Structure 1
Amino acid sequence: MTARRTRERAEGGESLVGSEWTVEVGPVAHGGHCVARHEGQVVFVRHTLPGEHVVARVTEGRVGDKFVRADAVEVLRAVPGRVEAPCPYAAPGRCGGCDFQHASLDTQRRLKADVVREQFTRLAGLDVDVEVRPVPGDEAGLRWRTRVEFAVDEAGHAGLRKHRSRDVVPLDDCLIATRGIIDSGVLDTEWPDVESVDVVDAAHPDDPVLVALPAPEKADGSAGLVGEHVRDGDWQGEYVVAARGFWQVHPGAASTLLGRVVALLGASSGDRVVDLYAGSGLFTMRLGELVAPDGFVLGVEGDRRAVDNGATNTEHLDNVEWRANRVDRELRSLVSQGVTADLAVLDPPRTGAGKEVMALLGQLGPRRVVYVACDPSALARDVRAAADQGYVLSSLEAYDAFPMTHHVECIAVLEPDD
């Protein structure tokens, strides 16, 4: 037996990359692709829609793999909802930043709703009825992203990476980026000895912030601060965040989420609120005002820089306290002290809060929990974990804060099962 055959068998069989199969496309799956089958082999196919008949070219996978990945390189039978992608880079073998430019906005939102429902059925054992709602501030699904990290190729040209690849596709435009980002000149500039360039087009300062990142210095937090405006009905506020920290990149997302969280939580004077994964205080500062003068808000965040910014954003509120700590550690401390809460908000990272956090949160005994999530699978798992603590899902909303991509923002309300 040759060394090559031995290696192929050890790695799972002969490569299928480049194989072209004609397939009937099945349902959408979490991750920006649809599911098809070819001679029993599961195929995750990008650039297609459920019900289509396509030629799929394998991009990743070997004989014997549980599934392979592919691009639809020819559409033999289209379905209603397919449109011509507005961006020439949103195509097989090109930029991997967008998943659904070949679908109308209505179709994209139906697909995202299907994914949310499927994840809740499979991971939480719940049948949910959800509609993905638009978020104001984009241009028909384009020109919404206020922060983009562009990769830089060996020649110093900025672009975006291919799907699941380190290869860089040089661009002359990115249609989901705001005009301010493109007008910054990032795509017209040569960037020698730079791995990537982060461009931030926040409300303040007036000009976009460009941060060149040499290869050893990913996410060093040295880009300074930017400011954002938010509204909740007649109320409006301004907060500062780290330019390379976490914040909502769709211009309408922060205000939309703030308004819905406040409405769903129902906080009033005297309530004790815990705001977990509080970031720089988007929810904290508004809740601090709503529960005043007798209520109290505790913001918990693991990023020290975000906590410092949060303290600045809420320095006018003497009923807000911040803890720079991992959420699970802080909750363990609170539970051990016998602390309780009336209400809770959590906005964890994409991986979710996890079983331990949901268990500890339940021990605080809030009458209502509002959970903001950017990943429906993580949310569904955490909703299932909350059920073990006696909390049930009382409502679920979804918002299209990331048009043209598979990402969707959800807001779940959990309440004790009385």
Structure 2
Amino acid sequence: MTRALRLGGVAHGGFVVARDEEKVVFVTGGLPGELATVEITERGKRFDRGRVVEVLEPAAGRIEPPCPIAGECGGCDWQFADQETQLDLKTAVVAEQLRRLAGIEWDGRVEAVPGGLTGWRTRLRFAVDGRGRLGFRARRSHQVIPLPEQGCLIAADPPYDEAREVAEPGQEVIVAIGTDSATSLGPRLGIGDDPVHERVLGRDFDVDADGFWQVHREAPETLTRAVLDGLDPRRGESALDLYCGVGLFAGALVDAGCDVLGVESGRRAVAQARRNVPQARFSAAPLERALHDLPGSVDLVVLDPPRKGAGASVVRAVAAAGPRAVAYVACDPSALARDLAYFAEQGYAPTSIRGFDLFPMTQHIECVAILMPQG
């Protein structure tokens, strides 16, 4: 079933919002203001989902997608928009989430980072179809869309031949590209160095090829500098690095002269953090269960939670420690906004919120908020 619909504003998740009579339709493949033929792909009680099948009146920022599978693959949401339009869309999403969920009027703009729109992604998880071909899954589907001949446009030159050697139908192949190496991991066979070696602001890190690390080449340094600029750490201060992973921010705080305790649920990540940053202390435990073990007072806190956010109990525990500054690193603007509302209840407010386009061509955004006590 198709409809000719006028597309409205952008919504979180890579959608624009339209109305089919009185019902809301979340649409992929369109830009605000366009008139488009929309195929209704899912019916729901409160809203429908749809996708653009023909653009009747294009927006000024529309371009021809550079990847031939852009309309099928679930990885890239905005390949049909030029860079400035992508930044506009992401800025609008961050502003809307902050306004709606935290009551914050944000007048910032999502910032582009060096490297452009392609060739930036250093971590990939390829699906393998029934014929052994590498690909990605379609949006909201388990269907595997095989890679085009040119490979993945946003990938940072992965070793496709080696990845195909270990590909087995129905399995996945994880590829990680470090500062000085590339790794392909198949169902049973690894190729190249594992862990992968990274270097950020003069410090070396090891991280498993299937472990957590920022996927954009520029992300670790960009986010670390934003955290340091916002916290302005002073020698001798105490700091918590919560959801610390393999120690990226802990290393930067140690190098700034801080006494650092990191907390992370993944035991393998903590083992690597201890080797990466031997000057810091680390605890391997789910943060929600370790809150009672946190110091009673601390000068600085870095929060880098998973996509769901930190939550009210973690926010209360952080505020109870009385830090003079908190750096909140967020990969989801709605989770950030919810947690900023919790911080407001504890007397903390953001002095700055920055958004970074560390996932070009996609709907994802990374933000860094700096919070300080009010009054």
TM class by shorter chain equals over 0.9
1:272 aligned residue (231, 238, 263): 238
Maintained 8 Å contact 1:194/1:213? no
Which aligned runs of 4 or more in structure 1 are off by greater than 3 angstroms?
186-190
Q: Which residue of 1 aligns with 2:186?
A: 212
Between the two proteins, what is the percent identity of the paired residues?
44
1:331 Cα deviation (Å)?
2.1
1:131 aligned residue (102, 109, 117): 109
CA distances 1:273-305 after superposition (whole Å, capped 9, x unpaired): 0110111011101211212xxx41111111111
Quick check: 1:66 aligned with 2:23? no
Q: State the secondary structure of the residue aligned to 1:132.
A: coil
2:19 aligned residue (37, 41, 50): 37
Q: State the secondary structure of the residue aligned to 1:106.
A: helix
Maintained 8 Å contact 2:168/2:187? no
Find the aligned partners of 1:102 and 1:79 in 2 and give their Cα distance. 10
Quick check: 1:229 aligned with 2:199? yes
Find the aligned partners of 1:48 and 1:415 in 2 and give their Cα distance. 39
Find the aligned partners of 1:184 and 1:71 in 2 and give their Cα distance. 31
Maintained 8 Å contact 1:158/1:190? no
CA separation of 1:57 and 1:194: change in aligned 2, threshold 3 A: closer
Quick check: 1:383 aligned with 2:340? yes
CA distances 1:212-266 after superposition (whole Å, capped 9, x unpaired): 137xxxxxxxx931111112xxxx2111111111101110110111111111111
CA distances 1:167-225 after superposition (whole Å, capped 9, x unpaired): 0111131101112x1x43267558334511111111233xx2111137xxxxxxxx931
Maintained 8 Å contact 1:159/1:187? no
Q: Which residue of 1 aligns with 2:57?
A: 77
Q: State the secondary structure of the residue aligned to 2:180.
A: coil
Quick check: 1:359 aligned with 2:316? yes
Maintained 8 Å contact 1:54/1:75? yes
Q: Which residue of 2 aligns with 1:109?
A: 87
Maintained 8 Å contact 2:163/2:175? no
Maintained 8 Å contact 1:278/1:284? yes
Find the aligned partners of 2:221 and 2:35 in 1 and give their Cα distance. 41
CA separation of 1:190 and 1:282: change in aligned 2, threshold 3 A: closer
Find the aligned partners of 2:246 and 2:124 in 1 and give their Cα distance. 20
Q: Which residue of 2 aligns with 1:147?
A: 123
Give the structure-1-normalised TM-score: 0.86
Q: Which has the greater radius of gyration?
A: 1
2:146 aligned residue (170, 173, 193): 170
Quick check: 1:55 aligned with 2:37? yes
Quick check: 1:244 aligned with 2:210? yes
The letter of the residue matching 1:366 is P
1:394 Cα deviation (Å)?
1.1
Give the structure-2-normalised TM-score: 0.95
1:263 aligned residue (211, 219, 229): 229
Q: Which residue of 2 aligns with 1:340?
A: 297
Maintained 8 Å contact 1:157/1:187? no
Gaps of at least 5 residues in structure 1 are 1-18, 215-222
| RMSD of equivalent CA atoms | 1.6
1:197 aligned residue (153, 165, 173): 173
Q: State the secondary structure of the residue aligned to 2:111.
A: strand
Q: State the secondary structure of the residue aligned to 1:108.
A: helix
Find the aligned partners of 2:360 and 2:343 in 1 and give their Cα distance. 30
Maintained 8 Å contact 1:123/1:377? yes
Q: Which residue of 1 aligns with 2:100?
A: 122
Find the aligned partners of 2:217 and 2:32 in 1 and give their Cα distance. 31
Find the aligned partners of 2:27 and 2:47 in 1 and give their Cα distance. 11
Maintained 8 Å contact 2:121/2:154? yes
The letter of the residue matching 2:61 is G
Quick check: 1:284 aligned with 2:250? yes
Find the aligned partners of 2:57 and 2:169 in 1 and give their Cα distance. 46
1:164 Cα deviation (Å)?
0.4
Find the aligned partners of 2:99 and 2:38 in 1 and give their Cα distance. 28
1:374 Cα deviation (Å)?
0.5
The letter of the residue matching 2:197 is G
1:157 Cα deviation (Å)?
1.3
Aligned residues: 370
The letter of the residue matching 1:48 is G
Maintained 8 Å contact 1:274/1:343? yes
Gaps of at least 5 residues in structure 2 are none
